[in-house]
Amino acid sequence: MPRARPEPHYNRLLPAETQRERIEIVLVRPRNPLNIGAAARAMANFGFSRLAVVAPYAPNWREARSAVGAPELLKNARQAATLAEAVSGCTLVAGTGTLAHRKPDQRVVRLPEVTELFALELERGGRVALVFGPEKHGLTREDLSWCHLLVEIPTDPLQPSMNLGQAVAVCLYELARGLAPFSPGEDPATDATFPHADSRADSGALDVLAGAIEETMGEAGYSPAIMRDANRLDLRLLLRRLAFTEPDARRGLRLFRRILWRMRHADEIGKSSESE
């Protein structure tokens, strides 16, 4: 009886499909369809299939010839108008970039270290997103306000930027290499920034809570109009640093909606109290 052919060693490095299907790759405002195609090809190489493209510059980006072996992946990619929309269902969002020209507002992790954080989040049942910025300047501070982490790709200071397709390939290789050995039931070292939780609030829930808080701040005259954009960005960052669970976000939303209602009906409440 012929012996079964052994499984190729390199295939054992690929994460389980149940992990890969909960990892979103997000490209923000990409300009060159060839780079989108190269990113899709890298995803196909490592078995990832969930691609979201935010506000692409070229309308014909799905026709990129560089998506060799990945035309269906490109065809099925989601197009989103905003980054908020693209990551709304994700519970852990990591932006990518270098520290060459920015002072980050969130925790910075090196590329090899993010794998364990992703593995922990996937084990909890969460969804994760890895976000890449446009070719010319990368993710802006505004973009990063939707990210829990900034993932630093180690590059030489003399040439810190990478081609978009290459950056995606490097990151996915690291995820494939790092996620594969992880299996449910193991107890990897925990991190105080991301404590264990049954259900972490996703990005969409945090945006709803941020909206309620901002509305309350506006009603209270918390700051002049000139500061609203800065306060909005700081609030988004703060909610992600606090690592809210889903129940936390619901409680917070009820709290601020109740405060807002009482502020808007203060006169009625006051008259009711006087008549008693």
Judge whether 196 and 124 are in contact, CB under 8 Å. yes
Query: Facing residues of 131 across strands?
Result: 26, 95
pLDDT at 273: 58
Task: Go through the domains of the chain in sequence order and give each one's CATH number.
Answer: 15-179 (3.40.1280.10), 203-275 (no CATH)
User: Residues 78-101: what's their mean pLDDT?
Assistant: 92
pLDDT at 108: 93
pLDDT at 194: 46
pLDDT at 275: 59
Position 147 pLDDT exceeds 80: yes
Amino acid at 179: L
pLDDT at 136: 84
CB-based contacts of 169: which residues, under 8 Å, 6+ apart? 38, 39, 42, 45
Average pLDDT of the chain to the nearest whole number: 85
Per cent of the chain over pLDDT 70 is 85
pLDDT at 132: 97
Highest mean pLDDT among 162-171, 177-186, 191-200, 257-266: 162-171
Confidence label for 221 from pLDDT (cuts 50, 70 and 90): confident
pLDDT at 191: 45
Per-residue model confidence as pLDDT tens digits over 174-215: 998 888 654 444 444 344 444 444 588 999 999 999 999 999
Tell me which of 23-27, 55-59, 243-247, 270-274 is least confident.
270-274
Position 2 pLDDT exceeds 60: no
pLDDT at 276: 57
Per-residue model confidence as pLDDT tens digits over 226-237: 888 899 999 999
Judge whether 156 and 115 are in contact, CB under 8 Å. no
pLDDT at 69: 87
pLDDT at 15: 77
Compare 40 and 101 and report the one with higher pLDDT: 40
User: Residues 83-104: what's their mean pLDDT?
Assistant: 89
Position 250 pLDDT exceeds 70: yes
Confidence label for 92 from pLDDT (cuts 50, 70 and 90): very high
User: Residues 58-66: what's their mean pLDDT?
Assistant: 89
Compare 12 and 254 and report the one with higher pLDDT: 254
Query: Facing residues of 95 across strands?
Result: 131, 150
Confidence label for 13 from pLDDT (cuts 50, 70 and 90): low
